[in-house]
Amino acid sequence: MRISQFLDATYLKTANQVNLTEQENQQKVVDLVNEAILYNYKLVMLRAKYIPLAKEMLKEANSKTLIGTVIGFHEGIYSTEEKLEEAQKAIDLGADELDFVINFEAFKKGNINLVKKEVTKGIKLCLKNNKVIKWIIEVAALTNEEIIVISQLIKEIVFNNFGKESADKVFVKSSTGFYITKDNKPNGATLESMKLISENAKPLKVKAAGGVRDYETALKMITLGVDRIGTSSSKEIVNKEKNINTTSY
């Protein structure tokens, strides 16, 4: 197994969030894309405005690494129309995969029709443009029962509106990594939450994001059925796999 092909190497912080100039923040993006080229990551996950820069770098390097971006990030509370407009712009810029933050607040309040509408329209837009779509459900904001219900809901929407053959183009993803929890509880993927998603969303694809920082945890996630891992620790994870393979001979 090449773990690099499970990794969505991620940098989504704005310059203000990390107290950097825009030029310094862009350099972090450049560094990540160069790292992705070197380590052959499956995808780089970036803010949409950096897509043209990353696309040009990957093209020049003849790299197969894909480009992903986020939609409705990170609160997920934007209207369906706003999310679709943002998604279309990202598609026009050249994004390969779009990670939508589902309106989990509306879901928790019981506004299922709104959630169904945005999921259906988001998937329709992405499939029409031959793009992969991932739905971030923000597990830290949900109970276990809610994780089960929303995972099943997304699967049902895919099956009922787009057919089982579309399952490999749609992911259920755990987290944004930006959600603020109480009492220092995990704000990203846990083994428990990913098990629930995997059991209830399959055959849709599953992505673990937030809190996966080492090779051992990544491996456990993959064993649970996770297809992709969003992490800012891709380099450490890949290097650990290389070290293990080197010492095993």
Band of residue 130 on the pLDDT scale cut at 50, 70, 90: very high
The confidence score (pLDDT) of residue 249 equals 38
Q: How far is CA 199 from CA 71, 148, 206, in A?
A: 25, 8, 10
| 70-126 tens-digit pLDDT | 999 999 999 999 999 999 999 999 999 999 999 999 999 999 999 999 999 999 999
Residue 173 is among the residues annotated as catalytic for this protein:
yes
Distance of alpha carbon 144 from alpha carbon 81, whole angstroms: 29
Mean pLDDT over residues 13-30, rounded?
Answer: 97
Question: What's the total number of domains in the chain?
Answer: 1
Catalytic annotation, pick one of 99, 169, 205, 235: 99
The confidence score (pLDDT) of residue 1 equals 81
Amino acid at 202: K
Band of residue 247 on the pLDDT scale cut at 50, 70, 90: low
- Beta bridge pairs of residue 68: 45, 97
Taking only Cα atoms into account, the Rg of the chain, rounded to an integer number of angstroms, comes to 17
The confidence score (pLDDT) of residue 184 equals 85
When comparing pLDDT for 168 and 184, which is higher?
Answer: 168
The confidence score (pLDDT) of residue 194 equals 98
Q: How far is CA 65 from CA 24, 87, 114, 137, 172, in A?
A: 23, 20, 34, 25, 21
Residue 155 is among the residues annotated as catalytic for this protein:
no
Distance of alpha carbon 122 from alpha carbon 226, whole angstroms: 22
Q: How many other C-beta atoms are found inside a 10 Å radius of the C-beta of residue 246?
A: 8
Residue 31 is among the residues annotated as catalytic for this protein:
no
Contact in structure between 53 and 107 (CB atoms under 8 Å):
no
| 60: CATH | 3.20.20.70
Place of tokens 């995969």: 97
Catalytic annotation, pick one of 131, 173, 205, 235: 173
Q: What is the DSSP string of 50-110?
A: GHHHHHHHHHHTT---EEEEEESTTT--S-HHHHHHHHHHHHHHT-SEEEEE--HHHHHTT
The confidence score (pLDDT) of residue 248 equals 52
pTM over 0.95, yes/no: yes
| Structural domain boundaries enclosing 139 | 3-247
Amino acid at 37: I
